[in-house]
Amino acid sequence: MKKFFTLLIIAIPMALLSQESHHKWQRFSGKWIVDNSRAMEINGWAAPWDYYELLEYNSIISLKDFKDYSEISVTANITERKQTPAEFLISFAITSEHASWFYRMYAFKLSGGFWGINKVSLIFTDKNDKSKPNATKNNRVIQEIASKNFKVKYGRDYNFKILFENGNVALYINGEKVLCAPFTEKTNYGRIAFSSKNAKVAIDKVEIKQGENTLFLDDFNEDSIYVRVVKATREVNRAD
């Protein structure tokens, strides 16, 4: 009997932990669903919060930080343009100085219009005036480090690969080296995220590698997106 209770005490927390452990991403905004082994943003339009750049998009962000990785790859499909500019971001080295205020990050940004994506750029964004509180509207700076005209069609799967090589960061699309720029940071430590604005997107097969070793893999065979909740509950007085 004692053994049974001991096993029960061990089994219950393990079961609870295993329920939580399948979450790999946090939904920031937009309507993200996991269907047909893909993560899809199905709203298209984005409702900005006017704080840090990720909040201007429909984003999912990894729950874990990564460091010293050499490669990020993802299969992505910009399934439908809603408005111009249609944008898709692959963000990395996302960090916050306090809590979850993720002001600082790098991202490869794809932007385009009616006919398709026509520009790829590398951007850096951070808090503008660091003396101001985090909850200050429109206090961010965005720098375009490098850019190139490049065509990506809507409704097609593309393989995007970010490689850190010889002090540079490069974006490959379907194996073609599209953009390369110096990456001057000491480390690429931080979270990764995928974001869209004015377009619906589907992503699959996210992999982060350190050389030949896989640090992270998600093929969205299960719903790995966590939605953070703030509970609105009844206030109960002790006298009640």
Partner 1 sequence: MKKIIITLMAIASLTFISCANDDGTKADLRWKNKTSSTTVEDIKWVSSEGKTDQVWDGSYNSGTATNYKGINALAGTGECISGGNPATIEFDTTDYEGTISVTTNSATIQENAAATLSIANTAKK
- Footprint of partner 1 (CB under 8 A): 26, 28-31, 43, 45, 47, 49, 51-52, 55, 63, 96, 98-102, 134-135, 137, 226-235
Q: In this complex, which beta carbon is closest to partner 1, that of residue 45 or of residue 115? A: 45
Q: Based on CB atoms, which residue is closest to partner 1, 3 or 234?
A: 234
Is there a contact between 127 and 107 (Cβ–Cβ < 8 Å)?
no
Q: How far is the CB of 18 from partner 1 (least distance, A)?
A: 16
CB atoms within 10 A of CB 85: 16
User: Pairing between strand 58-62 and 191-197?
Assistant: antiparallel
Smallest distance from partner 1 to CB 50, Å: 8
Q: Which is nearer to partner 1, 65 or 144 (CB)?
A: 65
- Other C-beta atoms lying within 10 Å of the C-beta of residue 150: 17
| Nearest residue to 187 via CA among 92, 123, 99 | 92
- Smallest separation, CB 156 to partner 1 (Å): 25
CA angle 220, 223, 226 (to 5 degrees): 120
Query: What are the two backbone dihedrals, phi and then psi, of residue 10, each rounded to the nearest 5 degrees?
Result: -75, -40
Q: 1 or 230: whose CB is closer to partner 1?
A: 230
Nearer to partner 1, 43 or 70 (CB): 43
- Quick check: helix, strand or coil at residue 102? coil
DSSP code for 71: E
Q: Report which DSSP code applies to 48.
A: -
Q: Which one, 30 or 112, has the nearer CB to partner 1? A: 30
For 136, which DSSP code?
-
The least distance separating partner 1 from the CB of residue 4, rounded to whole angstroms, comes to: 32
200 vs 72: CA distance, rounded Å:
21
For the bound state, the minimum distance from the C-beta of residue 75 to partner 1, rounded and expressed in Å, comes to 25
What would the two tokens of residue 1 be?
Answer: 């009997």
Which letter does DSSP use for residue 57 in this model? S
| Shortest CB 63 distance to partner 1, Å | 7
